[in-house]
Homo-oligomer: A and B are copies of this chain.
């Protein structure tokens, strides 16, 4: 799974605007064969995703860091887990995560199902000791039995089914109809002149080498960052501290390889980069241009690209607030 390091930056100029950027966001995300999406799974998944009792302290839900009322993350550098602990990476957005080929910044999960299992038992995130304890807790909350039964059949509370339900819910978190999508579908007035300038510039300088396709996170899966050395920027934003994929594989060749993140809703997900060290989008755009493509953007050029990126903010689907099944007369601790 970690073999596919497509260094596609060099190919950027080969892709025309139309090829690189002609894809609107699909309205639905494909589900894997072993977890077809059903409304019962989605309903259960929405509840689990928002239930803080999935954490040791009962205070941290998936939504705490991947806020579904906001841009799908927490607008922080490092996210905050149980006991006020701060993580080393910035929470990626859950919106459109269904269109990522791999999950987590280092791409160590190959599916949403895989990903969903991780933070729950991470000691500085949700802090549960193990999934047996999670299952035990879910079983102790009476209403879950019926919800799992609807989604998966009788006596079906398990790690496998909980993560499947969460993944099924996440596949519904899609933000279509951005200004860019409207433009692609033929409404040529959907983008401003500045946004069109920014879009063309992004293609010209090669951003779309890595950030193309409907979610602007392909065609490759991983990319090295930074590609071009710059000691002062690296030091200022601590870009060499976390080795990305290599932290998982231990391989020298994987050092500083990262999942290419989606640019959908990127205007809403400051601060930027895996470590959240860059506070503003214009700064992030300039650093990416310099460190990945060797380009020094002027302020005006960066502003144009920022304007274009703003056109990738989509429509957030109306959701009902889940009602979590309650404990009756007792609690978890």
Contact A270 B331 (CB under 8 A): yes
Residue in B closest to A276 when the chains form the complex, CB atoms: B331
Residue A327, interface by CB 8 Å: yes
Residue A76, interface by CB 8 Å: yes
Q: Which one of A50-58, A149-157, A177-185, A194-202 contacts B? A: A50-58
State which residues 47-92 of A face B: CB under 8 Å.
50-53, 57-59, 64, 67-71, 74-77, 80, 82-85
Give A302-328 as 1s and 0s: 1 = Cβ < 8 Å from B's Cβ atoms: 000010011001001011111110111
Question: What residues of B have a CB within 8 angstroms of the CB of A270 in the complex?
Answer: 327, 329-331
Q: Which of A80, A281, A329, A331 has the most CB of B within 10 A?
A: A329
Contact B64 A59 (CB under 8 A): yes
Q: How far is the CA of A75 from the CA of B333 in the complex (A)?
A: 9
Q: A108 to chain B: closest CB distance in Å?
A: 25
With A268-B327, A329-B280 already in contact, the answer to whether A320 and B322 are too (CB < 8 A) is no
State which residues 90-110 of A face B: CB under 8 Å.
none
Copies of this protein, total: 2
Residue A176, interface by CB 8 Å: no
Residue A267, interface by CB 8 Å: yes
Question: What residues of B have a CB within 8 angstroms of the CB of A316 in the complex?
Answer: 323
With A64-B59, A69-B323 already in contact, the answer to whether A282 and B329 are too (CB < 8 A) is yes
Contact B323 A310 (CB under 8 A): no
Residue A214, interface by CB 8 Å: no
Residue A279, interface by CB 8 Å: yes
Residue in B closest to A59 when the chains form the complex, CB atoms: B80
Contact B82 A328 (CB under 8 A): no
Question: What residues of B have a CB within 8 angstroms of the CB of A321 in the complex?
Answer: 68-69, 318-321
Contact B75 A329 (CB under 8 A): no
Residue A332, interface by CB 8 Å: yes
Contacting residue for A76 out of B320, B323, B331, CB 8 A = B331
Contacts A59-B64, A319-B321 known; 4 new A-B pairs at CB < 8 A? A59-B76, A68-B321, A267-B329, A270-B329
Q: Which 4 A-B pairs have the closest CB atoms?
A: A84-B84, A281-B329, A319-B321, A270-B331
